Amino acid sequence: MDEEELSEVRRSELVRSNIIILDVIKKSLTQTLNNRGRLEPNVNFAQEDSIEHFHIDGSTMIMLNQPSSINYIEMELYDWNFSYYIEVSIDKYSWFRVIDHSNYDCRSTQRLWINRIYVRYIRIVGTKNTLNKTFTFKILKVMYNTDKLHLVEIKNGLVAPKYNVALPSMDATVIKGIPNWIIYRMEKSLEKIQNNILYDDYKNFLFDRGYTYHEVNLGCIEVQLAQPYVLSSMRILLYDRHKYTYGYTVHVSVNHKDWDMIIDKSNKSCRSWQSLQFEQRLVVYIRITGVQSSDTDRTFNLKYLEAPDQVSLDSIIKKPWKSMLSLLNRK
């Protein structure tokens, strides 16, 4: 019974002891709770032996050793793409949703920033798995994180990062595109071959690792981020060793079904670095499609991608947060 239900219990003359019990209940409901808890920056509470997990109503509840202030949860997802939400509570009765990724595709390690909140219980609920009906994860960190706090903007569980999230170390991955044959000569790791455009080897022009491509009017290059991020810029490097020029478009999506075009340079002759600015929005998938190419093989060749754009980020006037409702309703 919660506090509201307890307060509605009626006294009965049939049972003498319940009069004393109800006096105690009444007193407890009028007392002010002492919300003292720990604030320990950069201490991972999930490593403690005393943390407990419970499976309830198709979800998993985590109980911290004691009430604590947190702003960061990190967990690893298994198998395929998942959707989920996370709620927190101090008393296990009143729950507050801090993360809602119910409609977004998420994979691998989830680095979840929230506004600082005082919690004892954390409830994680899986809503979708594209592979099967299970939701499998492992909690890695629960903490008040200050290390990169200055590099993120947080609003309703959505994060606008100032650092590059299109990195293999951030669990981004290339899901469409053909690695150039040169890469196979330079690399033995299948992961590095697949994700070559997400590594910064472009800086060493003496060690040409090639590029990823697709034929014009056939296919595209797609990158999936580990989780939804609010982005307003990205930067790409077109392969132009032979002064090739390209026309292309860029689409983004959060579910791989509904796509928005954010860049249209299909009628341009583009080469080398491309700094791309667009209206702030949630992004999980990035699709780059070559429309025209001066390459004799009629291929669109991409050497590098980063998001957000790290070069122009400091010079861009920060845009105010748009309505979260408009962002969440955007397909």
Q: What is the pLDDT of residues 269-324, one digit of tens each?
A: 999 999 999 999 999 999 999 999 998 899 999 999 999 999 975 554 444 445 44
pLDDT at 331: 46
Q: Which are the contacts of 227, defined by CB distance < 8 A and separation ≥ 6?
A: 101, 104, 106, 107, 110, 111, 112, 284
CATH topology of domain 45-147: Jelly Rolls (2.60.120)
Count of other CB atoms within 10 angstroms of residue 325: 9
Q: Of the candidates 205, 263, 274, 255, which has an alpha carbon nearest to the alpha carbon of residue 101?
A: 255
pLDDT at 47: 76
Query: Beta strands 246-253 and 178-179: pairing type?
Result: unpaired
The CA–CA distances, whole Å, from 205 to 178, 193, 202, 243, 327 equal: 21, 18, 6, 15, 40
Q: Which amino acid is at 199?
A: Y
Higher-confidence residue of 113 and 157: namely 113
Distant-in-sequence, close-in-space partners of 148: CB < 8 Å, separation ≥ 6:
163
Does pLDDT of 92 surpass 50? yes
How far apart are alpha carbons 67 and 64 in whole angstroms? 7
Give the side-chain half-sphere CA count within 13 A for 59.
16
Contact 137, 75 (CB under 8 A): yes
- Those residues with Cβ within 8 angstroms of residue 88's Cβ, 6 or more apart along the chain or in another chain: 70, 95, 96, 98, 117, 119, 121, 122, 123
- Read off the pTM: 0.82
Beta bridge partner(s), residue 109: 76
Fold entry, domain 168-329: Jelly Rolls (2.60.120)
Same topology between domain 45-147 and domain 168-329: yes
> Across residues 99-104, what is the average pLDDT?
96
- ∠ Cα 112 117 121 (to 5°): 80
Q: Mean pLDDT for the chain?
A: 84
How far apart are alpha carbons 63 and 66 in whole angstroms?
Answer: 8
**Sequence ranges of the domains in the chain:** 1-31, 45-147, 168-329
Q: Specify the pLDDT at position 33.
A: 41
* Dihedral, 51, 66, 106, 77 alpha carbons, nearest 10: -10
The dihedral formed by the CA atoms of 188, 237, 233 and 80, expressed in degrees to the nearest 10: -20
Range from 19-28, 134-143, 200-209, 289-298 that averages highest in pLDDT: 289-298
